[in-house]
């Protein structure tokens, strides 16, 4: 069974999701939260396989929850549920480290499919899948050993200056390597690089 937490500031929505998830033998709901702070506590304490997060819940919102969860080096994969149907918001969510993005109007069957796919390490964008070609890094772009080492240290939360000191390079050289890594992978945030590094077993 896939362990799940849900976080949404609307009680009726949480109750509905709880009822639907409990009726599906593939899932085990182990916690629910009404705001971002509670969601982070559940992620830290329970380490669910998947967290289904409301984009606009308070203190903090879904994107910030994902960012902080990655900083904690949590293994939980996060899905954003939102009323926002613009591509910019989807991009923001994915750049922050979300593994799935669905509109709240989605049927439960689609939400369930997204949970299963995300738990298996895939990215699920639903209606946005064909519109965005950012669900996976660029293929055919192999990182050098030096780039992999720098990526690993970025994923560990080190700054470019700290990395430079660790591997005896100049700060400018590390920044150049970091830029090249982002261009090769088509990933342009530290959170995204951290997620990629973890999936590749670098950290």
Q: What is the pLDDT of residue 108?
A: 93
Numbers of helices and strands, H then E, in the chain: 9, 5
CA separation for the pair 56, 38 (Å, rounded): 14
Domains of the chain: 2-128 (3.40.50.2300), 145-199 (1.10.10.10)
CA separation for the pair 77, 114 (Å, rounded): 11
Q: Is residue 22 classed exposed, middle or buried when 0-12, 13-18 and 19+ CB atoms within 10 A define those classes?
A: exposed
Q: What is the pLDDT of residue 142?
A: 82
Listed as ranges, residues in the chain with pLDDT below 50 are 134-136, 139
Residue 80 region, left (φ>0) first, then alpha (ψ -120 to 50), else beta?
beta
Question: Do 187 and 193 contact (CB within 8 A), yes or no?
Answer: yes
Q: What is the pLDDT of residue 86?
A: 86
Residue-averaged pLDDT of the chain: 88
CA separation for the pair 149, 157 (Å, rounded): 13
Cα dihedral sign, 86-88-89-91: positive
Q: What is the pLDDT of residue 140?
A: 55
Instruction: Respond yes or no on whether the N-terminal peptide bond of residue 60 is cis (omega within 30° of 0).
Output: yes
């Amino acid at each position: 069974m896939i362990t799940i937490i849900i976080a949404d500031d609307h009680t009726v929505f949480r109750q509905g999701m709880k009822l639907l998830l409990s009726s599906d033998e593939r899932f085990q709901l182990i916690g629910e939260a009404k705001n971002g702070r509670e969601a982070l506590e559940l992620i830290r304490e329970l380490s669910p396989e998947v967290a289904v997060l409301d984009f606009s819940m308070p203190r903090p919102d879904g994107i910030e929850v994902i960012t902080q969860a990655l900083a904690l080096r949590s293994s939980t994969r996060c899905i954003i549920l939102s009323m926002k149907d613009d591509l910019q918001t989807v991009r923001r969510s994915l750049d922050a480290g979300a593994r799935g993005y669905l509109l709240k109007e989605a049927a439960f069957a689609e939400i369930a499919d997204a949970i299963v796919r995300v738990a298996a390490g895939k990215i699920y964008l639903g209606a946005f899948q064909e519109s965005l070609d950012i669900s996976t890094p660029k293929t055919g772009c192999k990182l050098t050993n030096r780039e992999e080492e720098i990526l690993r240290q970025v994923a560990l939360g080190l700054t470019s200056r700290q990395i430079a000191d660790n591997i005896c390079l100049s700060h400018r050289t590390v920044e150049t390597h970091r830029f090249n890594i982002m261009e090769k992978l088509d990933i342009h945030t530290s959170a995204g690089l951290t997620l990629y590094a973890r999936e590749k077993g670098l950290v």
